[in-house]
Amino acid sequence: MKSAFLIFLAFGILFMAGCPSNDSGQGQGGTYCGDGIIQSPNDDGEYEECEQGVLCPGLGESCAEDCACISVEPEEEEDETHLGCVAGSCIIIHSQGENECLMDSDCAQEAYCGDGIVQPELGEECEDDSACEEGEACGSCRCLTPPTLDCDAICEATEGAEAIAQGIASREECGELVGEHYDSPSCYLSCTYFWHYQKDNAAGWDSCCCGMVKRFACSDCPGSNPQCPDATSCSVEAPEWVRPAAD
């Protein structure tokens, strides 16, 4: 019986040792900072100005952990800027970006055709048509006139060819003119060839329509059984047009 009591007593001591004392009102039904109710004072003797989740009366104030209202300074937004070149000057630009320069000299550009400034020392005559004479146009900073081709020389550079027309706008029109230019005599396979060559610049254009005919005689013609070469002969005998050296 005595040993049983000691065991009970020992457990009682252990049980009591496992329950720490709490002098605060928190958890024992008393009032405390953090219970959601503003008390001045609470059971802990603290004078509360606020509770978490309850707004402080002052503008820009926030409730601290000790239930006191404290001022909170608003975070200043950083103005994102970078340095960039504008009209040859290095200035601050209020936007995100990498710095393009550190000083005005970093923005200096070498003169070039198309910069809007006529530099005669670079061989420039113009930057736009306004600096050119009537009928001229500005191209590559030079005042240009429409090209004028020597079609006889261009066409006759290919053996057997001749100039049929000049200033023809399309290849199709050139082909029609060449077809009309050459006749097709009987007892011959007539193969006609054409070449539309055009040159243009900023001021305008010019073109040459070159033509050529090759005829292949038919056998037994006229006769009872004429035999003419196969039409594929026209492809086989097609010329290689000689382009002007300037091209």
Determine the Cα–Cα distance for residues 135 and 202; give it in Å rounded to an integer.
11
pLDDT tens for 178-187 read 999 999 999 9
The burial of 131, by beta-carbon neighbours within 10 Å (0-12 exposed, 13-18 middle, 19 or more buried), is given as middle
pLDDT tens for 71-94 read 877 666 566 888 998 877 899 998
Mean pLDDT over 168-193 rounds to: 95
pLDDT tens for 194-214 read 999 999 999 999 999 999 999
Find residue 200's DSSP bridge partners.
205
Which pTM does this prediction carry?
0.54
Q: What is the model's pLDDT at position 241?
A: 97
Mean pLDDT over 137-158 rounds to: 96
> How is residue 14 written in tokens?
């252990």
